[in-house]
Structure 1
Amino acid sequence: MAQKEADKKPLVILLNQIASEHGVQFNYNSDLVKEFFVDPIPTELSLEDKLKKLAAQTNLTFTRLDAQIIGISAPILVCGYLKDVTNNTPLIGATIQATTNYTITNNEGFFELKVGHISEKIHIRFIGYQTIDKLASDFASEKCTTVYLNEHHEFISNITINGYLIKGIDKTSNGYTTIDFSKFTLLPGLIETDVLQTVQALPGIQSVDETVSNITIRGGSNDQNLVLWDDIKMYQTGHFFGLISSFNPKITQTAQVINNGTDASYSNGVSGTISMKTNDKLQEIFNGSLSLNFINANFFADVPLGKKSSLQLAARRSIDDWIKTPTYHNYFKRVTQSTEIENNDKNVANSNQEFNFYDTSLRWLFMPTDKDIIRLNFILIDNSLTFDETAIFNSTTETKQSSLSQQSIAGGIHYHRKWNSKFSTTLHIYETDYTLKAVNANILDAQRFLQENIVSETGVKLQANYLKNKWKFNGGYDFVETQITNLNDVDNPRFVRLYANVIREHAVFGQTQYQNSNNNIILKPGIRINYIEKFNTFLIEPRLSIHKKLSNTFSLEVLGELKHQNVSQIINFQNDFLGIEKRRWQLSDNDSIPIIKSKQASLGVTYKKKQWLLDATAYYKNVEGITTQSQSFTTKYEFHKNKGSYDAFGVDFLVRKNFKRLNTWLSYSFIENTYSFDDLVEKQFPSNFDTTHSITLGSTYTTRLLNFSLGLNYTSGKPTSQPIVGNEIVDNEINFGDANSNRLSSYLRADASAMYKKEITESTSVDIGVSVWNLFDKKNTINNYYKEENNTAQKYARYSLGITPNFLLQLNF
C-alpha cells in the first residue's frame, strides 16, 4: 500500500504533461487541483480517455471550452422543490436533467442533482406544464430553492376553469371538459382512473343502469355517443357486461368530453363525444406499474427506445379463474340476474359458469426529427362467458354449452408534421373490428341458436393547421367505410339469415378560431360537408363555439352544432337468453332505419371568484331518425319497429367550493326528454332516458399521502309502462296502459374511496386503495319488464349493485 501511494503523482504535473502531448491548455483554479495525487496515465491513450481516468480518480469535471481549452471544475450539488404555481402542490415524477446527469422529483417534489459547474443548464419538465431551463447558479445557495411551474395551455384548448370538479378535471374555452389523469386525485367509489366511470361524475351525463356501456349524454342513447381511443372509433366500451371500462386506465392519459359545439373534424356521435388519449410525450427513463384489485390484475410499462422513441404497453386480465372475490360475486350476480344463467327452465340445471376478460393496449411513439411525430396504436379487448346446461332424457343425462363472446381489435397510425412555426399537417389511418357471438343451446328443444354481429370500419383523415397572429385555421378531408354483418342461425328447424351492409362516407371540413390579445373573446365557427355514396346524399353541418369573458368573474358561452350518424344499435327481445347479444350494431338503410340527425344549441354562464365556481348551461337538442328498436324498450313497444325523434330541454348546473385541502361540489341536471312517434298510439310520451332530476354531492380531502372521497348520487326513476289493472292480458298478450306513464322508484347511492400513497425508495412507490360502492346497500330498481305466464302479467325487475367493496394494491417503479 505504501509503495502504491508513492507511485502517485501530483495532478498538476500530469496536467502539464497531457497539455504538452496533445497541444491543449487547462483552465482551472490552482487551489482546486494542488492537493490531488493521481496514478500515472498511459501516454498511448487518447485525450478523451485520459480525461475520463482523471475524472474518475478526482471526481472533477473536465469540460471543453473550445478546441484547445479545457476547463476544470468541482462538481456542484443543486437541490430544490418543484411545485404547481396555482395551488402550491408538489409535482411528483418531474424530470430534472443536466448535461450528463438527471433525476426525478419524489413525492414531496424534492430533487438533488450533481452538475459540473455553475454555468451548466438544467432542463425542468413535467407533463402538462411549461418546460423551463435554469442555470445551476440559480440553485447555488445553502437552502434548497422552490421552483414553480405553470400549466401548459395550447391556443386551441385554453383552460378557463381549473379543477372543474377536482384537480385534473378542467373546462376549456370551447365548452369541452378535459380530464388529465396524471393530475387526478380521487372520485367517490373509484380506486382507478376508469375513464367511462369518471365522465359520469359530470353534469348531464348519467348511466341509467350503472354500466359504462349505457351512458346517456343529455338524454341520448349510448349508441349516439362517439367513443374514440387515440382517434380510433370503438364499438365495444365495457368489460363484465359494461360494469367497468374496457380501456386500460394505466395507458389512458387524458380524455375529452364534448356535449356540444363539436370540432368540425369530428363526425358521428349526435349526443356527444368521449375522446381518450395516451401520453403524447417521449419517455426518457423506464417506468411501470403492477397492480391487483378484486376484479383484475394489471401490468403497465413505458419503455424508452433510444432518444427518439418510446413504447407503452398495458395488459389487464380478470382473476376469477384464480380466485372469486366478493366483488366478483356481486358483479356476476348483477349481470346475470333475470337471465338464462340464473333462471333457466326448472328441468334444466346450469353449471360450470365461467367468465373472464382481458385487454392489451400498445402505443409506440417515434420522433425522427423535431418536426415529425409518428404514433402507432393497437388495442385488443375480449370478454367470454360460458355455462353448461344439463337435462335428463329417458334416464340419459345430456349436457350442452351456451356461450357469449365479445371482441374488439383495432389499430391506427398517426403522422404529424410541423413544417414551420405556423403550419402543420396530420394524417391518421385506423382500422377497427368488433365481433359479438352468442350460442344459445336449448337442450329441451334440441336446438342451437347462433347469433353474430360483426363491425369492420376503416377511416382516413388528413388535416392541416395554420396559425397566424390571433387566428387559427383548420381544414381537411375525412373518409370512413363501415361494414356491418348480422347472422341468425338456427339448426332445428334449419333457418339461416345473413345480411350485410356497407356505407362509405366522404367529408371535407373547415374551421377557424379567433382569439383577441386579452382573451376576452374566443370565436370558433366551422362547417363540415358530408357525402354518403350509397344514398347519393349531401349533409351540411355548421358548428359554432363562442366564449366571451364579461368581467373577471363572469363569462358567457354559446355553442351550437348539426351532426349525423349512419350507425345505430338495435335491441330485439332483450329479455331472452343473456340480453347483451340482442344489442347489435346496424347501418342505416335511409328508410326503415334512417340516418340519425341532430341539432343542438346551448347557452352557458360561469361565475368564478376566489375558490368558488358556479357553472350553469341551458340547452335544447332535437334528434331525428331514431327507431323504437334502439331505445331500450322493455315494456310497451318492445317488439315494435317504428321511426321517430326526441326533443330534450335541459339545464346542467354545478357549484364547487375549494378549501385548503377539501374540495366539495354539488351538481344538478334537469331534463325534459320527449319522444315523437307518429305511427304509435301515443304520438308523444316521455323518453326511456328521461331521468328528470339528477343530483350529485361530492367531497374529496387530499394530503400528500392520503386521498379520501365521499359522494351521494340521486336520480329520478326512469319511465316505464304498466299493464292495465284488471285487464292485464288481451289475446294472450300483455295489455299495457299509456306508454311511460309510470316511473320506477328513485335511485339513491352513496360511495366512498380512500387512497394511500407511500414512497418506498427514490424510484419506487406503492398505492393502496379501498372503495365501497353503494355504501348503505340501497336496493335500487334499474329496470323492469313483464311476461305473460298462465294468463297473468308476471312482473320482473333488475336491481343495481348492492354494497360492493374493492381493494387496490399497486407498485410503481
Structure 2
Amino acid sequence: MSKKLLCLIFFILTIYFCSKTHSQEQQEKQSLAHILRDVEEKYNVKFSFETKTIEEIFISPLYPELSLQQAITQLQLVTKLNFKVLNDRFIAITPNNTLDVQNSIQLLEEVVVTNYLTKGLSKTNNGTIEADKKAFEILPGLIEPDVLQIVQNLPGIVSVDERISNINVRGGTNDQNLILYEGIRMYQSGHFFGLISAFNPYLSEGITISKNGTSAKFGNAVSSTIAIQNSDELSLKSSSGIGGNMLSVDGFTKLKLTKKTELQLALRRSFTDVLVSKTYDVYFDRIFRDSEFNTDNNSQLALNERFLFYDINAKFLYNIDNTTKLRVNFLNMYNDLDYKQVYITSENDLQETNSNLKQVSFGTSINYSKLLKPGLNLSSQIYYSNYDLDAKNNNITSNQTLEQENIVEDYGLRIDISNAVNKSLNVNVGYQFNEVGVTDFEDVTNPNFISLKKEIIRTHAIFGEVERYSKSKNTHVRFGARISYFDKLQELFIEPRFAFNQKLSEYFRLEVLGELKSQSISQVIDLQQDFLGVEKRRWQLANDTNNPLIKSQQISAGLSYNQNNLLISFEGYYKNVSNISAQSQGFQNQFQFSNDIGSYTIKGLDFLINKRINNFSTWLSYSFSKNNYHFENLYNGNAFPNTIDLQHVVNTSLTYSMGNFKIGFGINWHSGRPYTEPSITQDQSNFNIEYDTPNNSNLPSYFRTDISAIYNFKLSKGIKANIGASVWNIFNQTNIINRYYSLDEDGSVIKIDNRSLKITPNFSFRLNF
C-alpha cells in the first residue's frame, strides 16, 4: 500500500476520532430537517415546506413516546412555525408571517421512498428522483455535492468513460439528455473537459431526474431530463461560505437586500494554472494521455501547458407581493487550455508553436409567476443559452494551422398555467417556443480552406397534462401530451407521456411509465482528432437530408417493497431510439467515416436493494441490459452491439453517519464495453485497417473502489466548518475504458488503450457563516 494512501486513511480516521470529542454537543440539538425526517418515517407522514423555512432551525430531539399530534404541537411551540394538517398523509409547514395560500396547493407531489440510497434522495409517485442538497449526506468517493456525480449512483445511469459530460441513461448518448439549469438548456455540463461538474455545488439546492414518463413540459431530448434549481425562496437572513479543494477555490453568498429581495452569487476558479496538485496531475493524465500532447515526435523538445476553469452563478429574487414572484438568473462557465511546443527544425533551428482550446457557456433567464386565485397559477420564462467551442492547432510537421469553432445559440420562451381543481385533480397547460442556431467554422492553411455554415430551427410546442389521485391516495395517474412543430423540417410530432403509481398493499407499489419524445439537435464527430482530440463532438441541427429528427419510445414497469427501512425494487424497460446518425456514435472501426441513419434498441432490468440500520445505510444495485444497433447500410443491415453497451453494471456501497461525522465506502463494477478487433490478415498496401465483425469483442471488466469522509464542526459562534477527504480508485486499478487501432509509419496495426483515472486523492475545507 502506498504512503499517500496510508496518509489519507490515517487522515480519515483522525477526522472520525475528532468527531467523537464533539458528539455530546451535537446530540444536544439537531437540525429541524433531521427531526422531520425521523417523524416522517415513524408516523408515515410527509411534511411539505420550502427548504429556507427550516434550514436555520436547530432544536432538541423529541421524546420518542409522543403521539403524532403531540409531536406536531411540540414542534409548533418550539419552532414558532405553522404546522397545518392537510389530510392523514400531508402536513404543510409555513412561516408565521407568510400569507396562507395552501388553498392554492390542493395537489401535492407525494414522496413514496425517502432516503433513496442515502439521505437527501427521494423517489416520487410520478417516477422522478429528487435530490435535496441541504439534506444530502455522503456518497462514496464524493466530498462535495456534485450533482452530476450523484445521479451516476442511480440504477440505469452510468458514464462509460468516467466523464460527467458523457452520462449515459439507459443506453442513450450524453447529447440525448436534457440538462436544465434554472430552466436554461445547457450544452456544456463539465469542467476539465468532462471530469468535473460545471454546476457550482454550493448554490444548487435541488435536482430532479426523470428516466422515463417525463412531464409534458419538457421536450427536445429523447433520453433523460435532469433539472437543477437554486433556492427559490427568500432567506431569513444573509449567509455566505468559502472553501476549496485540490483543484479550485470557491465562494458563495445569499445576500438579503430588503424584505422582498435577495441576491445569490457563487464563484469558483481553478488554481491549476499557477499551482499543480496530485489531483490535477491525475486528471490531466486521464484527459490528455491519448491526445496530441502525447503524439510521438522525435523533433519535439518541450511542451508546456496552462489550464484553468471558472464558473459564475447569480440569481436575483424579488417577491413583488404575496402572490407574485420575479426571478432573474445568470451563469457563465469557462475552460481554457493553452500549450506551447518547442521543436527543432531540419536546419537545427528552434521553433515554437502555440495551440489553444476554449469552451465557454453563457446563460440567462427571467422567470415570472403569479397566483391568479387560489389554485390557479401562471408562470412564464424567457431564456438565452450560448455555447462556444473554439480551437486553434498549429501543426509544425505539416506546416499547417487549423482553426475550428462550434457555436450554439438557443432562445426560449415558455408560458404555462396550472390549475389545482381540487385536492385530487391538477391540470397544467402551456406553450413553448425555441429558436436554436448552430454555427460551424473551419479555417485551414496549407492548403487554404475556409468553411462557414449556420443553420436555424424554430420550434413551437403546446403541452398539457392531467394529474389525479384517487380518494384513498393509493392511486396516482399523470397523463399528458406535447405537440411540437419544427418549422424548418415542416414536421409535426405528437408525444404522449404517462405515469401510473398504484399502492398494492401496505408495503408494495406498482409503477408503470411511458413516453414518446423527439430531438432536433445532437452531437456528431467529423474526425477523431477534431478540437485537439479532447472535445471531438460538435453540435448539429436536424435537417431533411442526412440528419433527420431523432425519435424515441420507451415503456417501463416496476415493483417495489418498502418496510422497516428496507427497500427492494425491480424495474424492467424497453427503449427504442430511431433516426440516429452513425457520426454521433463515435465509431472507431470500419464505420468511422460512415454517414448512415439507423436506430438502437435496449431492453433492460434495474434492481435495487437498500437497507438502513440506525446510522448505517447500505445498498446494492444491479442493471442488466442488451443494447443493439440497426443501420440499414452498415453490416448488411444486421444488428450489432451498441458502442456503449454495458450488459452488467453493479454498484454497492456502505455509508455511516454519527453526529457530524460521515464516511462512505463503495465498489463499482461493470462488464467491458464492446470494441472491434482488426482482421487476422491485413493488406498493408491499401493503408487502411481491415476489421472483423463490428463490436465483436469486449474490453476487460471495469472495477473501482472509492472512499470518502466528511466532518462538520462549529469553529466559533456563527461560523461552521467542514473538512473532507476522499480517494477515487483506492487500489489504483488499471481499467481500460476504450480500445481502438491505428497504423504506424510502417503500415503495421497498433493497439491504443484509453485508461481510466488512476488513484485520485482529494481534500476539501469549507467555512460557512
Give the TM-score normalised by structure 1.
0.83
The answer as to whether partners of 1:451 and 1:581 remain within 8 angstroms in 2 is: no
Residue 36 of structure 2: aligned partner:
85
Deviation at 1:517, TM superposition (A): 2.6
Q: CA deviation at 1:157?
A: 2.7
Distance change in 2, residues 1:456/1:777 (3 Å): same
Q: Secondary structure at the match of 2:403?
A: strand
Q: Is the 8 A contact 1:264 1:509 kept in 2?
A: yes
Change (3 A) 1:172 1:444: same
Q: Which residue of the partner structure matches residue 311 of structure 2?
A: 359
1:327–1:728 Cα change, 3 Å: farther
> Residues 458 and 301 from structure 1, CA distance in 2 versus in 1: closer, same or farther, beyond 3 angstroms?
same
Q: Residues 202-213 of structure 1: matches in 2 within 5 Å?
A: 202-213=154-165
Alignment equivalent of 1:402, drawn from 338, 355, 367: 355
Q: Match of 1:497?
A: 451
SS at match of 1:329: helix
Letter of the 1:222 counterpart: N
Counterpart in the other structure of 1:66: none
CA displacement 1:507-551 (0-9 Å, x = unmatched): 111110111232110111101111111121110111111111111
Counterpart among 601, 604, 617 of residue 650 in structure 1: 604
Is the partner of 2:171 in helix, strand or coil? coil
Q: Is 2:540 the counterpart of 1:586?
A: yes
Within 5 Å, which residues of 2 pair with 1:102-181? 104-106=56-58, 123-124=80-81, 130-131=92-93, 155-181=107-133
Deviation track 1:265-315 (CA, whole Å, cap 9, x = no partner) reads 110220111110001110121111111100110101111111111111000
State the shift of 1:122 in Å.
6.2
* Cα pair distance change 1:757/1:561, threshold 3 Å: same
Call closer, same or farther: CA 1:489–1:173 in 2, change over 3 Å: same
8 Å contact 1:334–1:801 — kept in the other structure?
Answer: yes
Q: 1:259 to 1:96 in 2, by over 3 A?
A: closer
Q: Within the alignment, does 1:445 sit opposite 2:398 as a pair?
A: yes
**CA contact 1:124–1:131 (8 Å) conserved in 2:** yes
**1:389-409 deviation per Cα after TM superposition (whole angstroms, max 9, x unaligned):** 222232322111011000000
Q: Hey, what's the Cα distance between the residues in 2 that align with 1:627 and 1:613?
A: 40
Distance 2:348 2:716 in 1: 67
> Which residue among 719, 739, 752 is the counterpart of 1:796?
752
Residue equivalent to 1:752: 707
Counterparts of 1:446 and 1:605, CA distance in 2: 62
Checking the alignment, whether the CA contact within 8 Å between 1:372 and 1:415 is kept in structure 2 is: yes
Distance in 2, matches of 1:435 and 1:125, equals 48
Q: How far apart are the structure 1 equivalents of 2:518 and 2:444?
A: 35
Which protein has greater RCO, CA pairs closer than 8 Å, 6+ apart? 2
> Do the aligned partners of residues 589 and 368 (structure 1) sit closer, same or farther apart at CA in structure 2, a change above 3 Å counting?
same
Deviations 1:682-708 (A, max 9, x none): 521000111000000011101111000
Corresponding residue number in structure 1 for 2:341: 389
Q: What is aligned with 1:726?
A: 681
Q: Secondary structure at the match of 2:215?
A: coil
Structure-2 change in CA distance of 1:435 and 1:576 (3 Å): closer
Over 3 Å counting, the alpha-carbon distance change for 1:363 and 1:154 in structure 2 is farther
Asked if residue 739 in structure 1 is aligned to residue 690 in structure 2, the reply is no
**Partners of 1:445 and 1:270 in 2: CA distance:** 42
Kept after mapping to 2: 8 A contact 1:95/1:105: no
**In structure 1, the residue corresponding to 2:532 is in which secondary structure?**
coil
Gaps of 5+ in 2: 1-28, 42-46, 63-75, 84-89, 98-104
Instruction: Please list, as runs of the form range in 1=range in 2, the aligned pairs for 1:562-577 lying within 5 A after superposition.
Output: 562-575=516-529
Q: Tell me the distance in 1 between the aligned counterparts of 2:687 and 2:715.
A: 69
For residue 123 of structure 1, what is the amino acid of its counterpart?
A: K
Conservation of the 8 A alpha-carbon contact between 1:208 and 1:782: yes
Out of 753-762 and 672-681, give the one that drifted further.
Answer: 753-762
After TM superposition, give the deviation of residue 582 of structure 1 in Å.
2.3
CA contact (8 A) 1:341 1:350 kept: no
Does the alignment pair 1:684 with 2:636?
no
Q: CA deviation at 1:346?
A: 2.1
Note the C-alpha offset of 1:447: 1.2
Q: Distance in 2 between matches of 1:88 and 1:759?
A: 26
In structure 2, how many angstroms separate the alpha carbons of the residues matched to 1:80 and 1:669? 37
Tell me, in whole angstroms, the C-alpha distance in 2 between the residues paired with 1:364 and 1:648: 43
Of 702-711 and 753-762, deviating more is 753-762
Assess if the C-alpha contact under 8 Å between 1:175 and 1:260 holds in 2: yes
Bigger-Rg structure (1/2): 1
Supply the AA of the counterpart residue of 1:416: S
1:414 equivalent to 2:370? Answer no
8 A Cα contact 1:107 1:759, kept in partner: no
Paired AA for residue 592 in structure 1 = N
For 2:37 and 2:292, how far apart are their aligned partners in 1?
55
Quote how far apart the aligned CAs of 1:811 are: 0.5
1:554-612, CA deviations, whole angstroms, 9 ceiling, x for partnerless residues?
11111111000000000122246632342100001132111100000010111111111
Q: Would the alpha carbon gap of residues 729 and 425 (structure 1) be closer, same or farther in structure 2, given more than 3 Å must change?
A: farther
TM-score with structure 2 setting the length: 0.88
Q: Secondary structure at the match of 2:471?
A: coil
- For 1:116, the equivalent position in structure 2 comes to none
Where does 1:5-404 land on structure 2 (aligned, <5 Å)? 82=32, 83-87=34-38, 104-106=56-58, 123-124=80-81, 130-131=92-93, 155-393=107-345, 394-404=347-357
Q: Tell me the SS of whatever aligns to 2:731.
A: coil
Contact persistence 2:59–2:78 (CA under 8 A): no
Aligned counterparts of 1:353 and 1:269: Cα–Cα separation in 2 = 36
8 Å CA contact 2:53, 2:94 repeated in 1: no
1:372-393: CA deviations, max 9, x gaps? 1111100000000011122223
One-letter identity of the residue aligned with 2:758: G
Query: What corresponds to 1:22 in structure 2?
Result: none
Please provide the CA RMSD for this pair: 2.5
Report Cα offsets for 1:300-331 as digits up to 9, x if no partner. Answer: 11111111111110000011133211001100
Once the two structures are superposed, residues 694-744 of structure 1 have per-residue CA deviations (whole angstroms, 9 ceiling, x without a partner) of: 000011101111000000000110000000123374621000000001011
Q: Is the 8 A contact 1:698 1:712 kept in 2?
A: yes
Runs of 4+ in 1 over 6 A off after TM superposition: 88-91, 93-97, 107-110, 119-122
Residue 282 of structure 2 aligns to a residue whose secondary structure is helix
Please state whether the residue corresponding to 1:85 is helix, strand or coil.
Answer: helix
